[in-house]
Amino acid sequence: MRETEIPRGFKTHLPKEALEIGHIFKKMEDVAQQWGYLPVVPPTIEYLATFKKIDEQFEELAFKLVDKQTGKLISVRPDFTPQIARIVAASFKNEEPPFRFYYKGNIFRDTKGNREFPQFGFELIGVNDIEADAEVVSIIVDILRNLGLKSFQIDIGHVEFIDGVLEEIKIENDDKMRFIKLLSHKDLSGIEIFMDENNFEEERRKKVEKLLELYGKAEILDTALDIFSNERAKIAVSTLKEMFEILKTYGFEGNIIFDLSERRGMKYHSGITFEIFHPLSGISLGNGGRYDSLVKSFGRNLPATGAAIRIDRIYQLLKRKETLNLQLPCDIYIIDMRKELKKAYEVAKLLRKKGYKVARDIVKRPVEASIDVAFNKGFKYAIVLNPQDESNRVIITGRKFRKVVKEGKTIEETVEKIIESLEEH
């Protein structure tokens, strides 16, 4: 192992990338706050039992270690939502819902490929009305539009619809997870084998075939009602239709697709679920849905819904679309040839008060080398103090005037006119 090597599945973000990711987070935070959501910062590590209480799958996904103080297993968080549920149950037990929270940070899962995922999420807890689900989807639309994305789609389904359909086509409990997995992978040959093994008669086969076609605009909701008579499935479709009417009122219907053939989300999801896609990305950009029993497992019976967006995938998509044109926050580089600390500090202080981002060159080297360093690091201007031992003179140069500098024709000004000269250039 080399000294500079890091574990597989983790990544270092260098300054420009880190700033761009921070810019994405900021835009998402702004939208969440506009909808009345407040930030929470859950701990990076919790007891493993907190996550296993929600889904035993986290036992395999989590990075685990032993807490030396208690002897209990603790885990670096593999998921934010259980933490938010715990926080609401523990810290807001005497407050009335609804609770609107957002969060940002990394989740960690010990899997192949990437093992650290930057994520932005938000939760609406304490509201059972379908308007809450519509609000969460609407915020996603607002966030993505605010990032300059247009051609995205949000695939919406309902856990109860799939469960009702499985009842109607008589798939037993032992086979449910296998069949749901086949549906999620759109594994047509696997589904055919499954039906052969379970002796599906013609009517059941036709219903499965029609189930696989329930993907598209809102019209498929009526189609679903014509195919399936199960009461759970019908109520689920009615709920989806109601939500769609709300989204139409908001003007967000253009980005909505219904996919009734798949059970999305984590094990704890219990109602409407959704997933975010874009034609330029072959993978999901985020997901979410309703989880009405999760908070109850921590001691307070509250319905909830929410969403999580994968920042790394959004970042790659925006880079591909070349819509991230963020410049490094490097305005002015001060080079003091006589090392007069007070004078250099006063100039820097004056410029910072005016809103410029200023750094000093504190390495002793020739002035031309220092100017090269300034421009190579992305600074827009270099200011040289005392260029020829003239204590009240400065040289100002910008990257686009670099050739002029080397020819000795750089603009010379007094310190008092620095800002005026910068604005002219």
Q: In this predicted model, what pLDDT tens digit does every residue of 309-332 receive, in sequence order?
A: 999 999 999 999 888 878 788 889
| β-strands 45-47, 73-76 pairing | antiparallel
Instruction: Give the predicted TM-score (pTM) of the model.
Output: 0.86
Where exactly are the structural domains of the chain? Answer: 15-321, 332-424
Nearest to 302 by CA among 311, 310, 291, 312: 291
- φ, ψ at 266 (rounded to 5°): -85, 175
Mean pLDDT of the chain: 88
Write out the CATH class of domain 15-321: alpha beta
Q: What is the CA radius of gyration of the chain?
A: 29
Sign of torsion over alpha carbons 80, 82, 88, 90: negative
Q: In this predicted model, what pLDDT tens digit does every residue of 175-195 receive, in sequence order?
A: 888 888 888 888 888 989 988
- pLDDT at site 401: 47
- pLDDT at site 421: 66
- pLDDT at site 398: 66
Per-position b or e across 191-207, b if 16+ CB within 10 A of its CB: beebbeeeebeeebeeb
Per-position b or e across 241-252, b if 16+ CB within 10 A of its CB: bebbebbeeeeb
- pLDDT at site 393: 54
Q: In this predicted model, what pLDDT tens digit does every residue of 359-410 receive, in sequence order?
A: 998 888 888 898 889 988 888 888 888 766 544 455 676 655 443 343 344 5
- pLDDT at site 130: 95
Give the CATH superfamily of 332-424. Answer: Anticodon-binding domain (3.40.50.800)
Distance CA(32)–CA(39), nearest Å, equals 9
CB 142 within 8 A of CB 307: no
CB 93 within 8 A of CB 312: no
Distance CA(161)–CA(147), nearest Å, equals 33
First-to-last C-alpha distance (Å) of the chain: 50
Residues of the chain with pLDDT under 50: 390-392, 401-409, 411-412
Distance CA(12)–CA(24), nearest Å, equals 17
CB 401 within 8 A of CB 374: no
